[in-house]
Structure 1
Amino acid sequence: MACKSKTRNLQVFDTELSADAVEWCPVPLSHNILACGTYQLQKGAEQAGAEDVPHQRIGRLYLFEYQQEGALTPPLSELQRIDTPAILDLKWCHVAVSDAPVLGMATAGGEVRLYTLTDGPHGRRCLKEKTSQSVGTECLALSLDWSTGRGESSDMRVACSDSNGCVSVLSLTGAGLETSTHWKAHDFEAWITAFSYWDTQLLYSGGDDSKLKGWDLRTDCSSPTFTSKRHSMGVCSIQSNPHQEHILATGSYDEQVLLWDGRSMRQPLSETAVGGGVWRLKWHPTQPHLLLAACMHNDFHILDCHKSLGGGGGEAECPTLTSYILHNSLAYGADWSRLTPDQPPPASPEGSPRPPQTYLAEGVGHLRIQYESPTASFDTSLEDDAGHYIPEGLAPAAPPPPPPPPTDSGTTTLPVTALLASCSFYDHMLHLWRWDYSPA
């Protein structure tokens, strides 16, 4: 019997600046708190007409609260906005620090900033800057990860990667953040770094040199424990599975999601083509086989990794259970909430999202997409196969619709109702949505 899978938009919020990171708070009693980060390149010529003024990367941090109030009230309400340097990544510490949730932020100023979630005026939650630490000169901090992914607080560290190809490990002390290790990890931008949540002395990194590397923090990190060239383009997303030991998910500009067993990194467990560069990957908070992928030029997808993780002998690909396709721009940020939308969702905003404009050069069947790094401007350069330029503001033809959910009820056997947030870049939009899934 065919499974049922449905997504519904609950709310759309205009972030004004280009949105690229979104994170639900994982700390109990604060699961209804959502943070969103933005990145905007402000060109010198746009600043008071001064052509010789250097470009600036500006950002804004938003804080939201989710409430289930009824069909006529938007569930997300804005609590706070903070102007910052451009934000490349956001991650909450998975446990409270001094009895309060702490949000980490990687900025275009080359630093890691920490904010504490506190009670503000009139009982509203707010963020207050706690501490910051530079990770290098003339670089962008591109990603960060906490060592606390399994909810353990005995080892509380932050790893950060940067545009100089370096990785830093920072320790959180009573005085703030202190750099304990810093090394050159990749030849070009180190897009991503992530802890093994099961052994936090192990760290992974991915770079624009198309390499995935492993590091043992008990050494001086002068050489990696392994180097994989299995991805054919820059590696930009990594996450350790907090539910199943040794399992690692990686994504790349090559539009592939790979699952790995960390004990044998020569060959991935599975390889899934998702049709867009994989900027972020997020495992479900409680379901070990569900993986959320933000796929840049091809929307957001939820993959069923059950068989690849040992539930059915391994799979060449992880089937797509659902796709969220209502964004009109690059899919960058996405995250699962630990809350469940138990009440009927609010009505969707009036009007349907405007379909993207399409352009195909005469006689050409597809477009070549050149991804450019955030160290430039996050812009993408689009050409057809004949080398013709596609005017700014016009997008390639929409990809074919995703395959229908698999009919094999042996993959995912339990009904799932999930609350998710996602954000997209050029249209500067944050979406709140729900996913309802029933295997039969």
Structure 2
Amino acid sequence: MSWKSKTRSLQVFDTELSADTVEWCPITEWHNILACGTYQLQKGPDAVSEEAATRIGRLYLFQFRQQGPMCPPLNELQRIDTPAILDLKWCHVPVSERPLLGMATASGELQLHRLLESQESSCVLKNVGCLELGPDRLALSLDWSTGRADSSDVRIVSSDSAGCVNVLSLGEDSVTATAQWKAHDFEAWISAFSYWDTQLVYSGGDDCKLKGWDLRMGSSSPTFTSKRHSMGVCSLHSSPHREHILATGSYDEQVLLWDERNMRQPISESALGGGVWRLKWHPTHEHLLLAACMHNDFHILHCQQALEGSGGACSVLASYILHNSLAYGADWSQFTLEKPRPCSPLEATKLTQGPAESHTGGHLRIQYESPTASFDTSLEDDLGRYIPESSPQPAPSSGASPPLCPTLTGDGAAVSCLMASCSFYDHMLHVWRWDWSPLEEGCTEKAPDEGESKETVD
């Protein structure tokens, strides 16, 4: 069975300030709530250096609603002016029965915002706690200990520009530092919990080192130090689905998958290009990994073969290439989308016709739809037939396209995901969907006539 992978932009939003982090709420009743953070270096007339400039930011709160093809789905609920924001993370479990958002800022603060109901709109964020990590530093990242939706141990780990890692405990309406230590020689770009043993913490820094820490043993020395990345380590994410699995990314443009029991050698290495700023495992599909690759767009990786021990690079199932600046923030939503429009017989051509005789590599087709500024992207051969993005280009005599890889679900059912991504200098937030579905026999997409745009309907 052949499979079809397709991305479709649903809405583009101008954040005015440079956008660098996005997070969908993981709590069931609020899966359609999205937070976006921005970072802007504001230089005054007398600011001769970056240190003298002011770093400002803005926190946006949105609600996603499927209201039909003529209505933009993203509804802005709130905007809050803040210090520049470098990272956002929702706690994976309710705290005091409400969602709680953590925010790392350029003022060196860890801020907590609780999602509350509002009469004016569906909900708003309220600041309920703040802790300064230390003077003259930027808070660069944070992670919650609750990645497996376990509410028995709610803590935060954060890293900062002084090279320190900070562990914080949560009170009713406060956050308290329980440990802080110098972990890296330069900026500690990223820190994260092992979701299976939350006494284990990982950090990555601009000194090109990936380190592990056991909080039970103190912080005098790491449990391991890896120099496998050749440049600064800037992304980490522990798998919430498989024990011992850790994904790391770096300015060296590599995504490495590790077995935490043996940190001498990664189990997989994938070259994505552009510098891997953020990695996010899918919240329910254990083989899917989302990568934000700075100078090389956003990619969805399929990691099943690597996780099952066969080694090799993870395959790219889909790429979202419609941003025009640094690809920084990206996240999956667990919101349930309506099913995509099925293939119409009027659009179908027989798969048995085979590939084009003069295959030149494919063309990107953008299908525009107004007024939501939404458009489809798909890769096609010279005859207008769909080319799955991760499949090798077939030789002229190969016949029908081969299957891409194992299915994502045990029954081979289609998967539709709601995504958000943001880019820096063009200050843009994109909300888009990714559909991964079996291509029925005798059904493939047909290109429109030259000059014709194809309207798509949810």
Alignment partner for residue 336 of structure 1, among 328, 332, 336?
332
Kindly indicate whether the alpha-carbon contact (under 8 Å) linking 1:203 and 1:216 is maintained by their aligned counterparts in 2.
yes
Deviation at 1:243, TM superposition (A): 0.6
Distance 1:237 1:51 in 2: 31
Deviations for 1:322-349, whole angstroms, at most 9, x for unmatched residues? Answer: 0000000000000000013215599465
Q: Which ranges of structure 1 fall in alignment gaps of 5 or more residues? A: 354-400
Alignment partner for residue 261 of structure 1, among 245, 259, 262?
259
Deviation at 1:413, TM superposition (A): 4.5
Task: Point out the structure with max Rg over C-alpha.
Answer: 2
Deviations for 1:95-121, whole angstroms, at most 9, x for unmatched residues? Answer: 000000000000000010000000123
Deviation at 1:18, TM superposition (A): 0.2
Distance 1:22 1:131 in 2: 20
Kindly indicate whether the alpha-carbon contact (under 8 Å) linking 2:259 and 2:266 is maintained by their aligned counterparts in 1.
yes
Query: Does residue 220 of structure 2 align to residue 200 of structure 1?
Result: no
Q: 1:149 to 1:283 in 2, by over 3 A?
A: same
Q: 1:89 to 1:214 in 2, by over 3 A?
A: same
Distance 2:404 2:48 in 1: 61
Paired AA for residue 228 in structure 1: S
Q: Scaled by the length of structure 1, what TM-score is found? A: 0.85
Paired AA for residue 405 in structure 1: S
Query: Does residue 416 of structure 2 align to residue 417 of structure 1?
Result: yes
Distance 2:427 2:189 in 1: 22
Distance 2:249 2:370 in 1: 31
Distance 2:196 2:135 in 1: 32
1:286 matched residue in structure 2: 284
Once the two structures are superposed, the pairs formed by residues 165-180 of structure 1 within 5 Å of their partners are 165-174=163-172, 176-180=174-178
2:90 matched residue in structure 1: 92
Percent of counterpart pairs with the same letter? 67
Deviation at 1:173, TM superposition (A): 1.3
Distance 1:275 1:348 in 2: 33
Once the two structures are superposed, the pairs formed by residues 28-177 of structure 1 within 5 Å of their partners are 28-45=28-45, 54-174=52-172, 176-177=174-175
Q: Which ranges of structure 2 fall in alignment gaps of 5 or more residues? A: 342-367, 376-386, 393-401, 440-458
Distance 1:187 1:420 in 2: 35
Distance 2:249 2:152 in 1: 29
Deviation at 1:16, TM superposition (A): 0.2
Query: Does residue 321 of structure 2 align to residue 325 of structure 1?
Result: yes
2:391 matched residue in structure 1: 405
Q: 1:350 to 1:197 in 2, by over 3 A?
A: closer
Query: Does residue 21 of structure 2 align to residue 13 of structure 1?
Result: no
Larger deviation, residues 321-330 vs 411-420? 411-420
Distance 1:198 1:253 in 2: 27
Deviation at 1:276, TM superposition (A): 1.1
Paired AA for residue 39 in structure 1: Y
RMSD: 2.1
Deviations for 1:210-243, whole angstroms, at most 9, x for unmatched residues? Answer: 0000000112211000000000000000000001
Alignment partner for residue 314 of structure 1, among 310, 316, 327?
310
Deviation at 1:352, TM superposition (A): 8.6
The count of residues paired between Structure 1 and Structure 2 equals: 388
Distance 1:260 1:272 in 2: 12
Distance 1:349 1:163 in 2: 42
Deviation at 1:439, TM superposition (A): 4.8
Deviation at 1:122, TM superposition (A): 2.6
Deviation at 1:403, TM superposition (A): 5.7
